[in-house]
Chains A and B, each alone.
Chain A
Amino acid sequence: MTGSTLFYAQRLSAIFLLGYTIWLSSFFLLHQPLEYDAWSQFTDQIIFSVLTSAFAFIVVIHSFIGLWTIGTDYFTSRTLGFLSPAIGKYADTIRGAYSLLFILWGCLVVFIIFFIIWS
């Protein structure tokens, strides 16, 4: 994938997530204090299931790009070497483990969202 693809994927996903957040927040603001009936009616709508499923994939894509950027910026031998040169030598391994962790975590998040929404 090219850098510009990742750049635009990051920004476009951010716009979707912003819209979703505004939509959800406006529901909470309009239904104060929050009660079960209004909340379950809102979450039972098909539009909630569809948008939240889209949210699951988009939030994970957005997070992967962001976390990957953080990994390549900070988990390098130059920056980890500042903590200790011994740690710096294992920068690639540390970054690999960190990437594996967030990828597994992200897949789990998508799975759980789909479980909650569609079960």
Chain B
Amino acid sequence: MSTNGNRARPVYINLLQIKLPASAISSITHRLAGIYIFFITLPLSLFLLYFTTKSNNNFMLISDLFKDSILLSTFVSFSFLVFAYHILTGVRHLLQDMHIGESLQASRVSSYIVFFLWFALVATAVWRIYL
């Protein structure tokens, strides 16, 4: 039997008491990004595919819309950056499934590599849109 039987045992998981290592952060944000992609990036891509292939006029309309509205171009860029993040962390997970970089140390290092690559992509996007 448990030696601390008198102590109140937790019934629910206290999410605020859990401290996540870098690899867990990369894993949970991979999931969050997945939800975002399924409900936002995917329908957005279909909208863009439909209108940009419809006719030259529609194509120009969409591209003018991006030039005029900083809000819209920010939203679209953000949506595709989230997708890029899901791909980067996903490749990391696939490599680990193939038993590459499974150790605690390697897993921490690869999380930081993924974060770094993604921030580089974000910086490139910011550079191209705003500067």
Q: A78-B12, A79-B13, A79-B15 are in contact. Are A63 and B53 (CB under 8 A)?
A: no
Q: How far is the CA of A36 from the CA of B13 in the complex (A)?
A: 53
Chain B interface size, as a band, is 20 to 34
Identify which of B11, B35, B87 contacts A21 (C-beta below 8 A). Answer: B87
* Whole-angstrom distance between the Cβ of B96 and the nearest chain A Cβ: 11
Is B13 a contact of A11 with CB atoms below 8 Å? no
Q: How far is the CA of A39 from the CA of B13 in the complex (A)?
A: 50
Within 8 A of A (CB), among B65-99: 83, 87, 90-91, 94, 97
Contacts of A88 in B (CB 8 A): 12
Within 8 A of B (CB), among A94-110: 102, 105-106, 109
Taking Cβ atoms with an 8 Å cutoff, the residues of A that contact B are 11, 14-15, 18, 21, 36, 39-40, 43, 59, 63, 66-67, 70, 78-79, 81-82, 85, 88, 102, 105-106, 109, 112-113, 116
Contacts of A113 in B (CB 8 A): 46
Is A43 a contact of B31 with CB atoms below 8 Å? no
* Whole-angstrom distance between the Cβ of A103 and the nearest chain B Cβ: 11
Is B13 a contact of A82 with CB atoms below 8 Å? yes
Q: A11-B97, A18-B90 are in contact. Are A43 and B53 (CB under 8 A)?
A: yes
Taking Cβ atoms with an 8 Å cutoff, the residues of B that contact A are 11-15, 31, 34-35, 38-39, 42-43, 46, 49-50, 52-53, 56, 59-60, 83, 87, 90-91, 94, 97
* Whole-angstrom distance between the Cβ of B106 and the nearest chain A Cβ: 19
Q: How far is the CA of A70 from the CA of B11 in the complex (A)?
A: 20
Contacts of B34 in A (CB 8 A): 63, 66-67, 70
Q: How far is the CA of A81 from the CA of B56 in the complex (A)?
A: 53
Contacts of B39 in A (CB 8 A): 105
Is B53 a contact of A39 with CB atoms below 8 Å? yes
